[in-house]
């Protein structure tokens, strides 16, 4: 009887420990810009192939098609001098990649790209058209939520009622602020190409391009707040 009671108490203790134990910690993804290589030389007005690898303990490995491509984003920033890289990254001047990650996971890049027309207008075209409207955020948010057609030809913008209004306005503000800039570009996907600008007024020196990749993982199952991000950054020299 004592032996059975001892087994029961041990089992109860293990069950209670398991119930009270904290969640297993989510491992942060490892992100690497594989192509191009660090310090490669590039020119203005050039198409640059890129490839990013992702390894995540929970989500899987990009080499085995286990990572959702649109969740991977790459930002490309021109800087007149390599000495500005550290300041750009560490002094609060760098682009908020979390907004790009939200756009990727929300499938914005399925129909739109930063600079070139895709299915819908580019984000640069949208910024150019609406930047001077005082009600741009509210106007565009309604179009996204309710859907629209005829604004950019016959193409239909499907309604997106499930997107949170505050997030939509945050992203729209980011697009209007950043997408017309000639010194900045962005893409989504594990691999593809991006184009360097043809010319940057007032910045005719050689300078550098700063490439910043990010992936935010899906976290532990049923624990969305456990998501973690991984980043990689490289510098390309302008010829």
Segments in the chain below pLDDT 50: 8-9, 11-12, 14, 16-21
Domains of the chain (ranges; CATH) run 27-96+181-238 (2.60.40.10), 115-178 (1.10.760.10)
- In the prediction, which pLDDT does 1 show? 56
SS3 (DSSP) at 226: helix
Instruction: Please tell me the total number of residues recorded for the chain in this structure.
Output: 239
Q: Where are the alpha helices (DSSP H) in the chain?
A: 2-20, 85-90, 97-105, 123-130, 136-146, 165-178
pLDDT of 221:
85
Distance separating alpha carbons of residues 223 and 217, to the nearest angstrom: 12
- Identify the pLDDT of residue 6: 55
Q: Convert the pLDDT of each residue in 20-35 to its tens digit.
A: 445 578 999 999 999 9
Report which of 164, 214, 207, 160 is spatially closest to residue 186, judged by C-alpha positions: 214
How far is residue 206 CA from its own chain's centroid?
27
C-alpha dist (Å) from residue 70 to 5, 62, 127, 162, 178: 55, 12, 22, 18, 20
What's the start-to-end Cα distance of the chain, in Å?
A: 83
Q: Any idea which residue has 């490892």 for tokens?
A: 30
The two counts, helices (H) then strands (E), for the chain are: 6, 11
Instruction: Enter the tokens of residue 164.
Output: 């949170």
- The one-character DSSP state at 163 is S
pTM of the entire predicted model: 0.85
């Amino acid at each position: 009887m004592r032996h059975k009671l001892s087994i029961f108490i041990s089992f109860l203790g293990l069950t209670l420990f398991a119930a009270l134990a904290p969640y297993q910690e989510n491992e942060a993804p490892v992100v690497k810009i594989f192509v191009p290589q660090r310090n490669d030389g590039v020119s203005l007005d050039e198409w640059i192939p890129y490839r990013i690898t992702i390894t995540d303990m929970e989500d899987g490995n990009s080499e085995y098609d286990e990572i959702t491509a649109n969740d991977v984003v790459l930002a490309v920033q021109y800087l007149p001098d390599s000495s500005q890289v550290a300041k750009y990254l560490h002094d609060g001047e760098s682009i908020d990649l979390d907004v790009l990650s939200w756009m990727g996971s929300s499938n914005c890049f399925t129909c739109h790209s930063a600079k070139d027309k895709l299915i819908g207008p580019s984000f640069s075209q949208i910024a150019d058209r609406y930047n001077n409207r005082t009600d741009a955020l509210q106007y565009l948010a309604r179009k996204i939520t309710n859907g629209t057609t005829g604004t950019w030809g016959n193409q239909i913008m499907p309604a997106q009622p499930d997107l949170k209004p505050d997030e939509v306005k945050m992203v729209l503000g980011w697009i209007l602020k950043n997408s017309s800039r000639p010194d900045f570009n962005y893409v989504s996907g594990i691999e593809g190409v991006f184009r360097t600008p043809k010319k940057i007024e007032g910045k005719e020196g050689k300078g550098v391009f700063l490439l910043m990749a990010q992936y935010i993982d899906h976290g532990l199952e049923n624990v969305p707040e456990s998501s973690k991000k991984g980043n990689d950054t490289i510098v390309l020299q302008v010829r």
